[in-house]
Structure 1
Amino acid sequence: MKLSIFIFFFILLGSNLFAQKSQTPFVKGKASFYSDWFDGRLTANGEYFSQEEFTAAHMTLPFGTWLEVTNLDNKKSVYLRINDRGPYVKGRVIDLSKAAAKAIGDLNQGIFNVQIRPVNGRDLMILPLEFLIKKKSVPLRQRSSYLDFSLITP
């Protein structure tokens, strides 16, 4: 009898511990995007930066963290991955690649009011598979070196 009461309370208390969900933290602030000068350069995690990928820089989040970034002015959102450190401008919370910035707003605006939310693997399951595969792109500043000049006639 005592054993069954103990098991009952153990199950009751244990289920309450797992039922509590922690709230994912939302961070609001200003976002900017990388200039073309950074295209093809190494990021802090060792990969080459590409303006065509959905990546970003954040000061403290671990590399590989996926975020949902929402423009608070027009409510457009984008999923992106942290692969660099920054921004180093006071008052900004994240630096976006040009592709990510274009997805949530007008590039002429330059700075966006955003809300950042870390996402887990289940949230990423709704995305198309091509989105998660790293693109093999030639950096903007290196594209001219890939031209075959023998095809150009004067």
Structure 2
Amino acid sequence: MLIKLDTDEPELYTEMESVFVEYNNNLVPFFFEKTSLHKSTLLRAKIEDIDSEDDAEDMIGCELYLPLTLLPVLDDDQFYYHEIIGFKVMDATHGDIGEITSINDSTAQALFEIKKDDKEILIPMNDEFIEEIDKPNKTIHLITPEGLIDLYLG
């Protein structure tokens, strides 16, 4: 089977022993016999007990999950989307602009969705805007382009 990896570092996932597959509204563990990278973001996997095309076709379109404990450890300046939910966002000009409520990655450019009082602020997740990620204090420091935050707060 080919598995699409949604990551910047697919090579970190070649040694996985298993995954959970969302199948009939349940998370079912499946174990790998062998894995290797195929092209850039595809993992070629031989899965135990999946021995025919019919078995494999039954899994097409299923979502795969890893327990959070199995995710590779990232550098201090990197983060998984799920781990920054609830982080406070500090802007160099505007100070505290709110809390990250989610990440919108359905657009061409992923966006921080930030809640400030009753307003929502959308900031592109651009490396040039991120000054510092302070994981221990659950804070992200941004330097946003002039006028961007004013669109939402002004």
TM-score range, shorter chain: 0.3 to 0.5
- Structure 2-normalised TM-score? 0.32
Larger Rg computed on CA atoms: 1
- Structure 1-normalised TM-score? 0.32
- Which of the pair is proportionally richer in helix? 1
Larger relative contact order (CA 8 Å, sep ≥ 6)? 1
